[in-house]
């Protein structure tokens, strides 16, 4: 079987991080986070690390070529023999183009999974989160509600909604995600990368969703190695 690159797409609150973790375990391939890679490089303080640190300090964007070079270096490691999972990358059409060329030249096939969750559900999920301003405890009104409504179980403080979870902020983040993602998805479609929409709020929960993604990967890799459509 050829090496697989699984790209996970999903809005904030779609459960993408949870899926990356579950799939890393069950597929036995590493999860490559470009954010972590950049931070690690900065800590190493070599020439590239210092360059990246300088860019991040002024709030700039690390050039696509640099990120791609890091990804290329990372996927040469032996733990990527069977494949790897990318999340949070590629973010732009240019990054997607460079990545596609790079993987093609190495015989790696790409499968893209788009975790879709109705935005009203995401807004409700995030809007249902509460935090205790005194001890920092987090609650979810649907999954882990406090014993007394809106009051911290540990110290009786009145719970608050974090700024990040406010409905208007969440709506803005979701819009930004759409603006950023749509052209990248269009690009992958145009070069015939298999794109699977997966219901990120399916009744089976995170484990059921991971199972669904695994069966889609099998279907895709079977089709690719069989060469029959």
Is 148 a binding residue for Zn ion by CB under 5 A? The answer is: no
Work out whether 132 is an interface residue with Zn ion (CB under 5 A).
yes
Q: Does 172 bind Zn ion (CB under 5 A)?
A: no
Can you list the pairs that 13-16 forms with residues at least 24 positions away whose Cβ atoms lie under 8 Å?
13/117, 13/122, 13/125, 13/126, 13/170, 14/115, 14/116, 14/117, 14/122, 14/200, 15/115, 15/117, 15/200, 15/206, 15/209, 16/87, 16/115
Comparing CB distances to Zn ion, the nearer of 160 and 207 is 160
Q: Assess 155 for contact with Zn ion (CB under 5 A).
A: yes
Give the strand pairing for 195-199 and 109-116: parallel
Per CB under 5 A, which region of 88-96, 100-108, 134-142, 170-178 contacts Zn ion?
A: 134-142
Rounded to a whole number of angstroms, the minimum distance from the CB of residue 124 to Zn ion is 23
- Pick the binder of Zn ion from 50, 121, 134, 148 (CB under 5 A): 134
Number of continuous H segments (helices) and E segments (strands) in the chain: 8, 7
* Binders of Zn ion in range 19-38 (CB under 5 A): none
Instruction: Check residue 135 for interaction with Zn ion (CB under 5 A).
Output: yes
Please state the separation of Cα 87 from the chain's center in Å.
Answer: 4
Catalytic residue numbers?
16, 91, 129, 162, 173
Interface residues toward Zn ion, by CB under 5 A: 132, 134-135, 137, 152, 154-155, 157
């Amino acid at each position: 079987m050829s090496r697989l690159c699984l790209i996970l797409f999903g809005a904030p609150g779609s459960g993408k991080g949870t899926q990356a973790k579950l799939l890393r375990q069950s597929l036995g391939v590493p999860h490559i986070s470009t954010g972590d890679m950049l931070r690690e490089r900065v800590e190493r303080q070599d020439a590239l690390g210092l360059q990246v640190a300088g860019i991040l300090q002024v709030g700039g964007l690390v050039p696509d070529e640099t990120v791609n070079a890091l990804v290329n270096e990372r996927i040469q490691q032996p733990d990527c023999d069977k494949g790897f999972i990318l999340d949070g990358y590629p973010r732009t059409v240019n990054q997607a183009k460079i990545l596609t060329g790079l993987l093609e030249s190495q015989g790696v096939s790409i499968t893209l999974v788009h975790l879709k969750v109705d935005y009203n559900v995401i807004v409700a999920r995030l809007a249902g989160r509460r935090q205790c301003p005194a001890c920092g405890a987090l609650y979810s009104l649907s999954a882990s509600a406090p014993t007394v409504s809106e009051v911290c179980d540990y110290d009786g403080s009145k719970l608050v909604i974090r700024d990040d979870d406010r409905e208007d902020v969440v709506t803005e983040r979701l819009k930004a995600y759409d603006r950023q993602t749509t052209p990248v998805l269009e690009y992958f479609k145009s070069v015939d990368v298999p794109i699977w929409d997966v219901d990120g709020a399916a009744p089976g929960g995170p484990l059921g969703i991971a199972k669904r993604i695994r069966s889609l990967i099998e279907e895709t890799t079977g089709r690719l190695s069989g060469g029959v459509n």
